[in-house]
Chain A
Amino acid sequence: MTTDLATSDPATATHAAPPPLAEPSGWHEIRLTVNGAPVTAQVESRLLLSDFLRDRLRLTGTHVGCEHGVCGACTVLVDGEPARSCLTLAVQCAGAELRTVEGLAPGDAPLTPVQRAFHECHGMQCGFCTPGFVMTATALTEQPQRPDAADVADALSGHLCRCTGYRNIRRAVCQALDERFADGPAGRGE
């Protein structure tokens, strides 16, 4: 994983102590890994992971729709598993390894098979839901065995899309899975 975030992005910067608050509230120092780069930050206990990523690390690829767990736009990978960043506190992620959509193809790196499939299959229209779908689909392609159709439907049901009608999203995910599992369960589709 490249760490080009370090030069262009505050992700790797150690965040200075926060300004004092009017009301008492616990602040904690957390250390975690975001897209392969180590991050140390002071966070307020109540800071949601989605807001930490977007407002503090300026990783605005993670979108925020409903902010109560229903739409899936904010889905990121926490230790490899897709999870709602709006239903996770930043402070719960101390020691965790996070991946967001920015980490998939940083800088000039080629798109991942999942990203390419969304492009080729027209798996998006406005794109608001896309980062969440892409992270869930990425986790599906990283499973040791090809997930069956029911597992794919179950995983995609955790995301809402108001534009596409889902068919092209499912096609994209199937294309990425075909590529990844072309040589049997151990094959690497890249």
Chain B
Amino acid sequence: MRRPERPGGSRLKPTPFDYSAPGSVGEVLALLADEEREAKVLAGGQSLIPMLSMRLARPGLLVDITRVPGLDRLYADASGALHIGAAVRQSRAADDPVVRDGWPLLAAAIRRIGHPQIRHRGTVCGSLAHHDPAAELPAAALALDARFVIAGPGGTRTVGAADFFVATFQTAVAPDELLTEVVLPPRAGDGWAFEELARRHGDFATVGVAVTLRRAPDRRTVAAARAVFCGAGPVPVRLPAVEEALTGTDAGAAALDAAASAALAGLMPADDVHATAAYRREAAAHLLVRACTLAWERCS
């Protein structure tokens, strides 16, 4: 995160805003619809509050959604799908036995976010709605076929992961809408891995990859493969060529080489202060090989 300027050595201070902690989704939506003052959702605040302090965001009203009854629900429904409400903190999701057993890729991705001090307050849905291109959870959500439940003035709609992430810091959630929950279908038996390169433990990924692999009934070949990169573009990047290079193979050295080549050819990351595009591409290909190896071992 960029170091803020502090003219005259003054403290960092947000511009004035009002705060409300409503008790229902309906009230949240009514406040977000306020046209007089720009209202913004406040979840864990771990991305929004630094932006307020640096005055990169100047909302008129913060709508704290963490006290809305029901939004803190985390459960597997009758069909086996996992529901994570908008107020569920990252730590709670990563430590939940249901999540660890059924969606270990999600738990692993969460544990790569910052530090426990951040994850105790930051929410799963907040990270997805914020959509930093280097963030882990958007890539994990796309790898896990997440569905996003969005409530707005016109009612509630559900958006698939492929359509949810629109651009850097932009999602399908409009300013007057609320992401109420994210839903992950059951993925029993899939092998998984989340590998990333970060400058220090806890930093955002310079580049990273979420992989899931499924064994065919013969147990020797890959029936289905999914690889999604973070830090490699404005949205999480899924490359069909990588997945085709793995599907139907024995996930051996030749297949991993082909997948790595497909990643090198297909990824178009940007240069920035942290790494050049060429370095990111190279690192991504290595991480992909490592992740595929781990995921194949973890297939049941």
User: Residues on A close to B: CB < 8 A?
Assistant: 21, 23-26, 28, 44-46, 48, 51, 64, 66-70, 72, 75, 78, 81-84, 86-89, 91-92, 94, 136, 153-155, 157-158
Contacts and interface: CB of A to CB of B under 8 A. Distances in A.
Nearest to A94: B21
Given A155-B115, A158-B116, A69 B16 contact: no
Given A48-B53, A83-B117, A87-B121, A69 B46 contact: yes
A46 B42 CA distance: 12
Given A87-B45, A153-B201, A26 B118 contact: no
Contacts of A158: 114-118, 202
Interface size class of B (residues with CB under 8 A): 35 or more
Given A68-B1, A87-B45, A88-B45, A82 B19 contact: no
Interface stretch (B7-15, B162-170, B239-247): B7-15
A83 B19 CA distance: 20
Given A25-B18, A45-B17, A88-B45, A154 B116 contact: yes
B19 A68 contact: no
Given A69-B118, A153-B201, A157-B115, A91 B19 contact: yes
Given A82-B117, A88-B45, A154-B115, A68 B53 contact: yes
Given A87-B121, A154-B201, A158-B116, A46 B15 contact: yes
Contacts of A51: 11
B1 A72 contact: no
Main secondary structure of the interface of B (DSSP, over half): loop
A110 B53 CA distance: 38
Given A78-B121, A155-B115, A157-B200, 13 more contacts: A46-B17, A48-B14, A69-B46, A69-B49, A83-B117, A83-B120, A83-B121, A87-B46, A87-B49, A87-B118, A87-B121, A154-B111, A154-B116
The 4 A-B residue pairs with the shortest CB-CB distance in the complex, in nearest-first order: A158-B115, A26-B18, A25-B16, A45-B19
A157 B201 contact: yes
B50 interface: yes
B19 A84 contact: no
A94 B12 CA distance: 23
